[in-house]
A and B are shown apart, each in its own frame.
Chain A
Amino acid sequence: MLEQQLINGLMLGGIYVLVAVAFTLTIGILNFLNFSIPGVFMLAGVFTWVLLKAGVHWSLAVAGALAVGAAASLLVERCTYSWMRSSDHYVPLVSSMGFLILFENLVLVQWGSDLQRVVLPFSDLNIRYASLVVSIPQLLSLTLAVCLVVALRALLLKTQMGRALRAVAENATTAEILGVGVTRLVPAVFIIGGLFAALGGMLFALNYQQVHPYMGEEVALKGISAMVIGGMGNVWGAVLGGLLIGLTEVLSIHFFNADFVDFFVYGLLLVILFFKPTGLLGASKIVQEKF
């Protein structure tokens, strides 16, 4: 059933979109590859499981998981990016990677390395149409991903905060000269990025109903690839790349088998980079195209 696979691919892509947007935000605005994003993704997934298991109402579990993700991301900002100005560029990069390992090990110590099953508080979550099946959490993740990207773009293009963020992206000193409190704006970037990653992790837990301490890493590799395929720092590029990778992944399982997923996904990445090194929607010279 090819149609069904296409649906599944787009739904999976929705999660990659969220992760890719999280990466592309800190790259595009702060020129910083934030390696803690997979950790934030995983924390939100694991906390969704923990809270649901504790019998918390699903709406509170969702809110709790997002809050944990945002808080973790803010912690990373406090401990890494704020040092960035006074040190070499690899220091925040490496320390954000340190946070990924820290988050993974905290979860490992607390809940072990086993794959945990997420038991959903609802019974049947599927919409059936003819012979097609669409799961509601999957539909939700795709819809949310697209709506959030539209909202993020509106924030960046239409609001004073968005103008300030774009100013920081172009030249932080000039932004400062205009009175933009850059040190107050940077935490906002991390919180927004953290929320995107956390939403991805939470939806992953609900969609695939399993969590474990390293769940972030594989998804993050796909998310980074999605960002690169679409063009680094470009929000629409993250969407395009995420959906492309989701489709490639599902279709390579459909036509071949699961062993071929990485071959085709990263093959796609290499082919696109070969023909268009800046990614599909990647930076033309005018920075304006970024968002």
Chain B
Amino acid sequence: MSASAEALLQTEEVEVAYGRIEAVSGVSLSVTAGEIVAVLGANGAGKSSLLKSIYGLVAPRGGMVKFDGRPLPPRSTHTRVAAGLALVPEGRQILVSLSVEENLQLGTYSRRNMSGAEDDLEAIYARFPNLKQRRNMSASTLSGGEQQMLAIGRALMARPSLLMLDEPSLGLSPKLVGELFELLRQLNAEGLSILLVEQNVHKALQIAYRAYVLELGRCVAQGTPAQLTAEGKIQEAYLG
């Protein structure tokens, strides 16, 4: 699975450390264009750190990240956004000092070509009518579910080819979680590749083509959802 030529995203032996705490110890994964790939693992397994190093928010101590066949510089997010990567961070990170619409507009920041930005905004509003209703209000007035829509809509405004999400279902009601995963499936059907970090294993495996299981910074299992459930790897990783 590792060195396939057509991989959209590829990490090779990525290591992340905070001082002496090693959070990720040599993880290699790949996302092929058109896939949904899930990264699973218990709290503290290193999932967020892996995403952050892919995205350039932390400099990896070792290893390499390639996107579209090109190595990415270690500590620069705007080059990644411009190249077609987008991140929906853990906890959504809505900017409450901006209005809903300004949050979305800021999503286009790294686009060189602003033509079509208006259409994209309308497309986001068509997908999330609640956001349109509150377009001029502070983003702090949104409910949790609406904030997640805003976080995803804002990421989509950059026109990414790969969307990475860090535990998007956290704190949402079961109904909203269902809608969220349906949305991800739909976005994928429209051609978007997705790298999904989740604690909601059951839901994630329903939509993922493949998944990696992290445990204490290492990849302990990988494969299709069917393979992983058959081998019982999932329960192992979560129950220790």
Q: A residues bordering B, Cβ < 8 Å?
A: 160, 163-164, 166-167, 169-171, 173-181, 286-288, 290
B169: CB under 8 A from chain A?
no
Mask for B85-113, Cβ within 8 A of A = 1, else 0? 00101000101111000100111111000
B57: CB under 8 A from chain A?
yes
Beta-carbon contact of B138 and A286 below 8 Å: yes
For the residues of A in contact with B, the DSSP-based class is: helix
Could you say which of B75-83, B172-180, B189-197 contacts chain A? B75-83
Beta-carbon contact of A180 and B93 below 8 Å: no
Q: Which residues of chain A have C-beta atoms less than 8 A from B80's C-beta? A: 179
Chain B contact residue count (CB 8 A cutoff): 26
Beta-carbon contact of A163 and B105 below 8 Å: yes
Beta-carbon contact of A177 and B96 below 8 Å: no
Asked if A178 meets B81 with Cβ closer than 8 Å, knowing A169-B97, A287-B96, the reply is yes
Closest Cβ of chain A: how far from B196's Cβ, in Å?
A: 17
With the chains together, A176 CA to B96 CA distance in Å? 16
Closest Cβ of chain B: how far from A178's Cβ, in Å?
A: 5
With the chains together, A6 CA to B96 CA distance in Å? 40
With the chains together, A177 CA to B77 CA distance in Å? 6
Asked if A174 meets B77 with Cβ closer than 8 Å, knowing A164-B109, A167-B106, A286-B138, the reply is no
Q: Which residues of chain A have C-beta atoms less than 8 A from B96's C-beta? A: 170, 286-288
Which of A160, A171, A179, A181 is the one whose CB lies under 8 Å from B95? A171
With the chains together, A114 CA to B108 CA distance in Å? 53
In order of increasing CB-CB distance, the 9 nearest A-B pairs are A179-B81, A179-B110, A287-B97, A181-B78, A174-B93, A170-B97, A179-B78, A176-B77, A179-B109
Asked if A163 meets B106 with Cβ closer than 8 Å, knowing A178-B154, A286-B97, A288-B97, the reply is yes
Q: B residues bordering A, Cβ < 8 Å?
A: 55, 57, 76-78, 80-82, 87, 89, 93, 95-98, 102, 105-110, 138, 140, 154, 158
Q: Which residues of chain A have C-beta atoms less than 8 A from B76's C-beta? A: 181
Asked if A167 meets B57 with Cβ closer than 8 Å, knowing A180-B78, A180-B106, the reply is no
Closest Cβ of chain B: how far from A58's Cβ, in Å?
A: 40
Q: Which residue of A lies closest to B157 (CB)?
A: A178
Q: Which residues of chain A have C-beta atoms less than 8 A from B154's C-beta? A: 178
Asked if A179 meets B98 with Cβ closer than 8 Å, knowing A163-B106, A164-B106, A286-B138, the reply is no
Asked if A171 meets B77 with Cβ closer than 8 Å, knowing A178-B106, A178-B107, A180-B109, the reply is no
